Chains A and B, each alone.
Chain A
Amino acid sequence: MSSTSPSPLPATERWRSLVVYLSMAATVVAAIAAGLQADAGIRSQVANRESQVYALLASGEIFRQGIRSDYDLGTLADLTQEMQDGLSLEITGLEQEAEGNLEAAQLARQRAAILRARVERARGLSFFYTDPAHAPSEPDALPNLEGYVEDSAAEANRLVMLQNEQADEYQRWSRKGDAYVAVLALLAVALFLFGLAQAANVRTRRTFTIFGSVVLAISIARAISILVS
Chain B
Amino acid sequence: MTEQPGTERQGRGEIVIAVAMALVLVMTAVAAWRSSDLGSRAGDAERLGMIQSIQQQDFLNIDWQKAYQDAGNAQRYLLAEAEVAAMEASDDPGLQAQAGNQRRYVLANLALLGEPLSTDPTYAGLDGSLDIAQRFADLQASNPDLAALDPEGAFTRAEYYQSQQRGYFVGVVLLALSLFWLGLAEITRGSARITGLVMGMLIFLFGLAWIAGLEILWALARWADA
Contacts and interface: CB of A to CB of B under 8 A. Distances in A.
Contacts of B43: 45
Given A28-B177, A63-B61, A124 B129 contact: yes
B165 A38 contact: yes
B173 A35 contact: yes
A53 B166 CA distance: 23
A110 B43 CA distance: 69
Interface residues on A, range: 35 or more
A53 B158 CA distance: 14
Interface string A84-101: 000000000000000000
A74 B64 CA distance: 17
B180 A53 contact: no
A93 to B, nearest CB: 14
A116 B180 contact: no
Interface stretch (A16-24, A185-193, A215-223): A16-24
Given A20-B187, A21-B184, A120 B64 contact: no
A158 interface: no
A121 B128 contact: yes
Contact of A122 (B39, B72, B79, B127): B79
Nearest to A49: B46
A46 interface: yes
Contact of A56 (B57, B92, B176): B57
Contacts of A63: 61, 64
A120 B42 CA distance: 57
B87 interface: yes
A49 B50 CA distance: 8
Nearest to B161: A42
A182 interface: no
B173 A125 contact: no
Given A31-B173, A125-B75, A113 B68 contact: no
A114 interface: yes
- The DSSP consensus for interface residues of chain B is helix
B69 to A, nearest CB: 9
Contact of B129 (A56, A60, A74, A125): A125
Interface in B57-100: 57, 60-61, 64-65, 68, 71-72, 75, 78-79, 81-83, 85-87, 90, 92, 95
B22 interface: no
Interface residues on B, range: 35 or more
B125 interface: yes
Contacts of A32: 173, 176
B170 A121 contact: no
Interface in A101-137: 106, 110, 113-114, 116-118, 120-122, 124-127, 130
Contacts of B78: 121, 125
- The DSSP consensus for interface residues of chain A is helix
A17 B187 contact: yes
Contacts of B68: 67-68, 70-71
27 contacts: A17-B187, A17-B188, A24-B184, A28-B173, A31-B173, A32-B176, A35-B172, A38-B35, A39-B166, A45-B43, A46-B159, A49-B46, A49-B50, A49-B158, A56-B53, A56-B57, A60-B61, A63-B61, A70-B68, A71-B71, A71-B132, A110-B92, A113-B86, A114-B90, A117-B85, A121-B128, A125-B130
Interface of B: 35, 39, 42-43, 46, 49-50, 53-54, 57, 60-61, 64-65, 68, 71-72, 75, 78-79, 81-83, 85-87, 90, 92, 95, 125, 127-130, 132, 151, 155, 158-159, 162, 165-166, 169-170, 172-173, 176-177, 179-180, 183-184, 187-188
Given A64-B60, A68-B68, 14 more contacts: A21-B184, A31-B176, A32-B176, A34-B169, A38-B39, A45-B46, A67-B65, A71-B71, A71-B72, A113-B86, A114-B87, A121-B128, A125-B79, A130-B127
